[in-house]
Amino acid sequence: MNEFDVAVIGAGGAGMMCALEAGKRGRKVALLDHAAKVGAKILISGGGRCNFTNIGAGPENYVSQNPHFCKSALSRFTPADFIALVKEHRIPFHEKKLGQLFCDRSAKDIVDMLVSECDKTGVQFFLNCECTKIRKSERFELQTNQGEFTCDSLVIATGGLSIPKVGATDFGYRIARQFGLNIVYPAPALDGFRFNPEDLKRFGDLTGVSVDAQVTCNKAVFRENLLFTHAGLSGPAALQASLYWEPDDPVLINFLPEFEAERLEQWFLRKKEKGVKSEVKTLLGELLPQRLAETLCALELPPHVNLLQLSGKRISDFCRLLQSFTLTPTSTIGYGKAEVTRGGVDTDELSSKTMESRKVPGLYFIGEVVDVTGQLGGYNFQWAWSSGWAAGQAV
């Protein structure tokens, strides 16, 4: 029998952070994972360079049924704390945009750093280790394909359902339910949108077209790149909006966010006053990718209409369409492409200071398995580090 003070199930970012912090405190720690390698999601993140934190990470960047829950962990282990660790390991990095920090070389640098810190504190790794049963008497007892483990503190760091090709499962939710904890219904997030059949006909020929746009969903507003795909919409603006989207919600697109509504109208009217005879789709092509300009014109205007043929009201209505275009997706693309899972273990069930279950002493949930989901841009990794650190001080 393998006897430990702490067993952590899930050797991703949150799990390794918790394990190494517990190890620093002299705890005997086992880190179990069903995969053959640690940190699979870290390795594929950020195009292989790992957007490991965001220097501006704060509670306002997270979605949860309790928006205050994440404050304690985020304030006690901050982006600056993780950056200090990265610098200590001499990992070169850069800020890409909007506070997003990436490794210069490879995401493997972050994984190697965490493994090194775990090794330094005596954490024992058990890979290819399938946990088949958990029960609690005086201690937690874990049945696995590598024998039985016992521990005083059990940490679930198994993530959500997103990207099953790297090993995502519902294990964490099953354990939470086994011990009577409530689950906020999971859904794919930071994910693209699927067009409804009508919009697929209208925009299906725009695959590969991208545009700087402002996307609004349930009062959340993002201005970033928007990409048309064969199925719907992708790109950072769509991915951000998906975090706030519920089925049947409309998504509002401003294709020309650099213009205020009146300024865009005036842009066309000035050209009309100068006697410009160009077709509207040609003029709009000065502001938008030509294929997108042609498609938007075809939705609202007669074929080959020129600017002089349009009344002031028609121009005004067309500008309103360009800056408040409404789509109603049928769904997001799904867990296969979603970067994270929204929802998870209800934060009402956990201590915000320690991440420990209020119902089951010694049982902890950290990282993506918890109902705290960050926006795109390094925020979810920061939650992994912060929640893992918080539990590591308590187990």
Residue 265 has pLDDT above 90, yes or no: yes
- The reported pLDDT for the residue numbered 92 is 98
pLDDT band at 261 (very low <50, low <70, confident <90, very high): confident
The CATH number that applies at residue 228 is 2.40.30.10
Structural domain of 281? 192-333
Same domain membership, residue 111 and residue 47: yes
Same domain membership, residue 281 and residue 205: yes
Q: Check if the beta carbon of residue 268 is closer than 8 Å to that of residue 319.
A: yes
Residues forming beta bridges with residue 95, ordered by sequence position:
101
- The reported pLDDT for the residue numbered 56 is 96
**Average pLDDT of 299-322?**
93
- The reported pLDDT for the residue numbered 269 is 94
- The reported pLDDT for the residue numbered 106 is 97
How many residues are listed for the chain in this entry? Answer: 395
Final residue belonging to a domain, choices 333, 360, 382: 333
Each residue's pLDDT tens digit, 11-67: 999 999 999 999 999 999 999 999 999 999 999 999 999 999 999 999 999 999 999
Same domain membership, residue 171 and residue 302: no
d(CA 20, CA 190): 29
Same domain membership, residue 248 and residue 145: no
**Average pLDDT of 368-386?**
98
Each residue's pLDDT tens digit, 197-245: 999 999 989 999 999 999 999 999 999 999 999 999 999 999 999 999 9
Same domain membership, residue 112 and residue 17: yes
pLDDT band at 262 (very low <50, low <70, confident <90, very high): confident
pLDDT band at 1 (very low <50, low <70, confident <90, very high): confident
